[in-house]
Structure 1
Amino acid sequence: MKTISAEEFDRKFDDGEDISEYVDWSKATRPNLEPVEFTVTLRRGTKLRLERKAKELGVSVDSLLEDWLREKLDPARPSAAE
């Protein structure tokens, strides 16, 4: 892996140049993507409907809920469940 100054790296990135030779992708991370636990209390009927919908779509309940929440929070983002 080659090394350059931060200023040169930023310039190359801003100019749209390929910076992959300067990045160790095995150590790269994206912030705020780590899983966190979140507890929600639902009515039994809602939980059953949610489980049926997840099964119908072939995804986990967690994935379905996360997708639906993202869809509501950022309507411009396409949904993975559709």
Structure 2
Amino acid sequence: MKAKTLDRKFESGEDISAQLDLSKARRPNQEQRRVNVDFPTWMIERLDREAKRLGVTRQSIIKVWLAERLEHSDSHRAA
């Protein structure tokens, strides 16, 4: 299928998912890398309590909080 045909189908609202090979699809800047971080016991206990309260995993809350802090840092740097 030519790109113009695919674009036209997409723009008209047709489901084009069957035309796409999503097995190799990647989200830019979203690749995962494993890191190991050692936390004091008190910090892990507090993270676990907060994660349980919010109904998420410890890893999720760490990711969200780090992302928020990094965004905050970026916005202050830009100001």
| TM-score normalized with structure 1 length | 0.59
Task: Report the Cα distance in structure 1 between the residues aligned to 2:26 and 2:2, rounded to whole angstroms.
Answer: 19
1:63 maps to 2:75: no
Structure 1 vs Structure 2: percent identity of aligned residues?
Answer: 31
In terms of mean alpha carbon deviation, does 60-69 or 31-40 score higher? 31-40
Structure 1 runs of 4+ aligned residues shifted over 4 Å read none
Q: 1:25 Cα deviation (Å)?
A: 5.8
| TM-score normalized with structure 2 length | 0.61
Unaligned 5+ residue runs, structure 2?
73-79
Provide the residue aligned with 2:20 in structure 1. Answer: 24
Q: 1:38 Cα deviation (Å)?
A: 1.4
Task: Report the Cα distance in structure 1 between the residues aligned to 2:21 and 2:65, rounded to whole angstroms.
Answer: 30
Unaligned 5+ residue runs, structure 1?
6-11, 76-82
RMSD: 2.8
Give the paired residue count.
64
